[in-house]
């Protein structure tokens, strides 16, 4: 069985894909926060399923190769 990054993210409970899908379909802007020991990075993002859809296709193609 090939190792899959998506399964690892689910296993480590880092990504809730149901909530992520809801955010991408919604109408409100949302923020993402990345905190390290030295820096805090914040992004304000607009929902867009089209951009996410293309990233998922590329990821799937890489997994299948």
Spans of all domains in the chain: 5-64
pTM of the model: 0.48
pLDDT band (50, 70, 90) for residue 65: low
Tokens of 57: 């296709």
Strands (E) across 1-65 are located at: 30-35, 40-45
- Counting every residue written for the chain, the total comes to 65
What's the pLDDT tens digit per position in 19-54?
888 887 888 888 888 898 998 988 888 887 666 666
CB 39 within 8 A of CB 32: no
**H or E segment to which residue 25 belongs:** helix 17-25
Q: Strand, coil or helix: what is 65?
A: coil
Tokens of 37: 């020991």
């Amino acid at each position: 069985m090939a190792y899959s990054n998506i399964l690892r993210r689910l296993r480590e409970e880092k990504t809730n894909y149901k909530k992520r899908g809801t955010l991408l379909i919604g109408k409100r802007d949302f923020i993402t926060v990345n905190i390290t020991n030295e820096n805090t990075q914040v992004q304000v993002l607009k929902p867009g399923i089209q951009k996410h859809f293309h990233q998922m296709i590329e990821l799937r193609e890489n997994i299948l190769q």
